[in-house]
Amino acid sequence: MPRSDEPIKAVRGVRDILPDERAIWRVAEQAAARVAHRFGYREIDTPVIEHQELIERGVGEDADAASKELYRFEDRGGRHLALRPEATAGIVRAYWERGLQQGPQPKRLYLIGAMFRYDRPQKGRYRQFFQFDVEAIGSASPALDVEVIEVARTWLFEVGLSELRLELNTIGDGKCRPAYLKKLRAYYRPFKDKLDPDCQRRLETNPLRLLDCKVPQCQPFKAGAPRITDNLCDECEAAWALVLKLLDAAHIEYQLNPYLVRGLDYYTRTVFEIYPAAATGQQDALASGGRYDGLAESEGWNPTPGVGFAGGLDRVTELMTSEGEVVISEPAADVVVIAEGDLVAEAAEVARIARTVSSVAVDYEPRSLARKMGAADKLGARWVALLGAEEAKRRVVRLKNMASGDQGEVSWDELPERLA
């Protein structure tokens, strides 16, 4: 709780994005929307709050994003709700609840919005963060696995991040995975005492996650563990082969990573993560996703295949900034109106006229002319319209070009023409 005698600051792990920073965010968001449209994806928005059960059943009760990290609360009506930790569960709900299963399939959808996870805050990891989420729902075609990977890469390329590493794996499906998990458990059981407490628990609840554990004491056992790629059913095997073939055909480089299993329980078959090429293993992914053919069913809807990914806008904009991407932030206003004394109504009228063609701010502050000129310059204004009592009577302003310093008298009515 903030102490009552201190000013109230932001909640731990969340951030303000200031106007100067918004410029680079806007570049990333606009590129996301542009690329999504280019691939035929349409925008959807779903609520930030969902039933807690939707998240737990979809994402998995044992998954970090659902168990340890979920922002859950009871509303005034006694409903158990959660702030969404990711977008896929909600989009799949909307797909069925709002009738998107009708008409041509798959439905190609994207969403840009805030997600919430009660994670330990650090650089690149926040409690409120933003995702560009892309989903193709209603088709099992492995071509779509490759398509969403291509959407992710194209987006990252367009924001200037082209040195990327794509890591790829398959984790089978409901048909072949149970037998594989049995083998995995049997392999790990003799070492159980040597594993860290989390992995000892995972051995029973979610053995796949043993493979992406980063704790040093668990590492020596990984290399000898059975691999899912050697234990796929025929359908998963065929889908996997086609994904690799299509990636090759598209000249998309990838690294096979047999330990990539992802932190959300709903995945089947293809899973992938995209990292900056220079990143070490511990660093977080810029974008990640995979296929989730069992998700709709776990939410209580009919079985529905789907595949998608989400890119982290916080990480992407941070990398764009650190790689020196220069985004010229728009000036706050092209024109600043500076009026003498109490000519407030007149200054507002000049602004109203100029605003028909330009962005215009009025300096209403009680400060000297020199200070007002300085402020207009800092705002990045291209023009200053100066208004004195005598000029106001004649309905003219002195219009100053801030770059050249030239100035001249212009009637209010001619302003739009001069500024256009």
Residue of minimal Cβ distance to ligand HAM: 312
Residue 44 contacts by C-beta under 8 Å, 6 or more apart in sequence? Answer: 91, 94, 109, 110, 111
For ligand HAM, the closer of residues 135 and 334 by Cβ is 135
For ligand HAM, the closer of residues 60 and 312 by Cβ is 312
Write down the least CB distance from residue 85 to ligand HAM, Å.
7
Write down the least CB distance from residue 336 to ligand HAM, Å.
37
Residue with tokens 């970090």: 64
For ligand HAM, the closer of residues 240 and 266 by Cβ is 266
**Per this entry, what is the length of the chain?**
420
Write down the least CB distance from residue 234 to ligand HAM, Å.
24
For ligand HAM, the closer of residues 51 and 125 by Cβ is 125
Write down the least CB distance from residue 213 to ligand HAM, Å.
16
Write down the least CB distance from residue 315 to ligand HAM, Å.
5
Q: Using an 8 Å Cβ cutoff, are 49 and 84 in contact?
A: yes
Q: What angle do CA 168, 113, 16 make, to 5 degrees?
A: 110
For ligand HAM, the closer of residues 86 and 391 by Cβ is 86
Write down the least CB distance from residue 36 to ligand HAM, Å.
13
Token pair of 170, please?
Answer: 């398959």
Q: Using an 8 Å Cβ cutoff, are 295 and 86 in contact?
A: no
Write down the least CB distance from residue 306 to ligand HAM, Å.
7
Please state, in angstroms and rounded to a whole number, the distance separating the CA atoms of residues 237 and 234.
5
Residue 129's CB: how many other CB atoms inside 10 A?
Answer: 20
For ligand HAM, the closer of residues 96 and 191 by Cβ is 96
Using CB under 6 A, list all residues that contact ligand HAM: 65, 86-88, 117, 119, 124-126, 129, 131, 133, 135, 263-264, 284-290, 292, 308-310, 312, 314-315
Sheet holding 72-74, edge to edge: 49-51, 80-83, 72-74
Residue 282 contacts by C-beta under 8 Å, 6 or more apart in sequence? Answer: 214
Write down the least CB distance from residue 178 to ligand HAM, Å.
22
Is residue 22 left, alpha or beta, with left meaning phi > 0 and alpha meaning psi from -120 to 50?
A: alpha
For ligand HAM, the closer of residues 119 and 297 by Cβ is 119
For ligand HAM, the closer of residues 41 and 292 by Cβ is 292
Report the SS3 class of residue 408. Answer: strand
Residue 60's CB: how many other CB atoms inside 10 A?
Answer: 22
Measured between alpha carbons, how far is residue 160 from residues 27, 129, 165 in Å?
A: 10, 21, 14
Write down the least CB distance from residue 156 to ligand HAM, Å.
11
For ligand HAM, the closer of residues 276 and 289 by Cβ is 289
* Nearest by Cα to 20 from 359, 380, 287: 380
Write down the least CB distance from residue 372 to ligand HAM, Å.
41
Q: How does strand 407-411 pair with strand 49-51?
A: unpaired
For ligand HAM, the closer of residues 127 and 202 by Cβ is 127
Residue with tokens 């999504």: 36
For ligand HAM, the closer of residues 115 and 399 by Cβ is 115
Q: Using an 8 Å Cβ cutoff, are 147 and 289 in contact?
A: no
Write down the least CB distance from residue 196 to ligand HAM, Å.
22
**H or E segment and range at residue 167:** strand 164-170
Please state, in angstroms and rounded to a whole number, the distance separating the CA atoms of residues 100 and 111.
15
* Nearest by Cα to 133 from 17, 38, 227, 44: 44
Q: Is the dihedral of CA 62, 64, 67, 72 positive or negative?
A: negative
